[in-house]
Amino acid sequence: MNSYITKTGDTFDSISFNLLGNEKYSVEIMKVNPHLIRTIIFESGVIVKIPKVDIKEESTLPPWK
C-alpha cells in the first residue's frame, strides 16, 4: 500500500483520478481511510493511504466492435 500527502483542495475523487486514472477507485481509497471518510475537501499535509487496485482498461469501443 502506498501513501499520498494531500494538497489543499484535493478530494477523494481527484486523488483517485490523479493517482489511479479513474474516479471510480475513490471508494477503495475511502475504505482504507475510514478516519477521513467525513472529509470533503482536504487541507494540505494529510496522509492518505492508497490501496493497490486492479486497474482495468475500459474499452471505448461499442460492444459490437
User: Where in the chain are the domains?
Assistant: 2-50
Whole-number percent of the chain with pLDDT over 70: 91
Say whether pLDDT at 58 is over 90: no
- Computed over every residue of the chain, the mean pLDDT equals 92
Cα–Cα distance for residue pair 14/10, rounded to 1 Å: 6
Predicted confidence (pLDDT) per residue in 10-37, tens digit = 999 999 999 999 999 999 999 999 999 9
Helices (H), the chain: 12-20, 26-31
Closest CA to 43 of 18, 13, 7: 7
Quickly state the pLDDT bin for 54 (edges 50, 70, 90): confident
